[in-house]
């Protein structure tokens, strides 16, 4: 049985999810562009327009199963100026780092505007902080095709071919993590403590 969010929760969560996914993918394309790869720009992905990044099916699955996806930004590491391996590490790291940045921005915005007492403002800021932390930690898992697997491949010596072979089974592994509750255990260790720190900084809890 899925613990489906109410319509009220969906309305409040939707801006946070769209912001998180959009800036996550934009960050990948931006860093690739800085490194000399214009693939994302040429395909119209170097933008913060959500329509370029949000996958409707992946978005729906986030609400139905707590597990979803955006449209991956295309990257051609052969176009990088400099070390290709280091470039892929930086591009992969950019998405989770951007999600942390967006959570911190939400903290600042809430502190600056909370005295205005705008309707639903605090609830929306809560979800922007929490969901961006979830996206950052989730994408850092070293399971293909998540960013964490590419980061790990860039850190470990050698070609790490086993990580690329594992990509065939990556989605199955992620589904098992979600449906066995293992992902919830990971979130309790990493997501909740970090989110609570930022929520306290924002004076939301």
What's the token pair of residue 80? 């990088």
Q: Catalytic residue, from 25, 123, 161, 167: name it.
A: 25
Q: From the centroid of its chain, how far is CA 29?
A: 14
3-state secondary structure the chain: CCCCCCHHHHHHHHHHHHHHHHHHHHHHHHHHHHCCCCHHHHCCCCCCCHHHCECHHHHHHHHHHCCCCECCCCCCHHHCCCCHHHHHHHHHHHHHHHHHHHHHHHHHHHHHHHHHCCCCHHHHHHHHHHHHHHHHHHHCCCCCCCHHHHHHHHHCCCCCHHHHHHHHHHHHHHHHHHHCCHHHHHHHHHHHHHHHHHHHHCCCC
- Determine the Cα–Cα distance for residues 79 and 128; give it in Å rounded to an integer: 34
Q: Verify whether residue 123 is a known catalytic residue.
A: no
Other CB atoms within a 10 A radius of the CB of residue 91 amount to 28
**Residues with a known catalytic role:** 25
């Amino acid at each position: 049985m899925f613990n489906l969010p109410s319509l009220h929760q969906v309305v409040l969560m939707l801006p946070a999810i769209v912001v998180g996914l959009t800036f996550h993918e934009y960050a990948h394309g931006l860093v690739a562009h800085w490194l000399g790869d214009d693939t994302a720009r040429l395909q119209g992905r170097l933008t913060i327009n959500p329509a370029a990044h949000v996958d409707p099916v992946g978005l729906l699955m986030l609400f139905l199963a707590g597990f979803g996806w955006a449209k991956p930004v295309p990257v051609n590491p052969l176009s990088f100026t400099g070390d290709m391996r280091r470039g892929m590490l930086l591009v992969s790291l950019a998405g989770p780092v951007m999600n942390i940045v967006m959570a911190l921005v939400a903290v600042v915005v809430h502190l600056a505007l909370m005295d205005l007492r705008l309707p639903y403002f605090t609830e929306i800021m809560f979800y922007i902080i929490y969901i961006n932390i979830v996206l950052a930690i989730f994408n850092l898992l070293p399971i293909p095709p998540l960013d964490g697997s590419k980061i790990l491949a860039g850190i470990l010596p050698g070609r790490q071919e086993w990580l690329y072979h594992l990509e065939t089974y990556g989605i199955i592994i992620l589904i098992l993590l979600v449906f066995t509750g293992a992902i919830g255990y990971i979130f309790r260790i990493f997501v909740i403590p970090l989110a609570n720190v930022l929520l306290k900084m924002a004076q939301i809890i």
